[in-house]
Amino acid sequence: MAGRLAGRRALVTGASRGIGAAIAERLAAEGAGVAITARTLAHHDHLAGSLLETQARLERYGTTVPVVVADLTDEGDRQRIVPEAAEGLGGPIEILVNNAAAAIYQPLVDFPLRRRRVTFEANVHAPLDLTQAVIPAMRSAGEGWIVNLSSGAAHHWDGPPFDLGSRGSAITVYGASKAALNRLTNGLGAELHGTGIRVNTVEPRAAVLSEGAAALVGSTLRPDQIESMEEMVEATVALCDCPEDVTGRVAVSLDLIADWGLEVHGLDGTARP
Active-site amino acid positions: 174, 178
**CA proximity to 140, closest of 80, 95, 197, 83:** 197
* Cα–Cα distance list, 241 to 61, 119, 238 (Å): 19, 29, 5
Altogether, the residues listed in the chain come to a count of: 273
Sheet holding 95-98, edge to edge: 67-69, 33-38, 9-13, 95-98, 144-149, 197-203, 250-252
* Cα–Cα distance list, 67 to 104, 136, 145, 246, 248 (Å): 26, 22, 20, 30, 29
Q: Output b/e per residue, 3-18; b: 16+ Cβ within 10 A.
A: eebeebbbbbbbbbbb
Query: How far apart, in whole angstroms, are the C-alpha atoms of residue 151 and residue 178?
Result: 6
Query: Beta-carbon neighbour count of residue 84 at 10 Å?
Result: 17
Residue type, 123: N
Helix (H) or strand (E) holding 148: strand 144-149
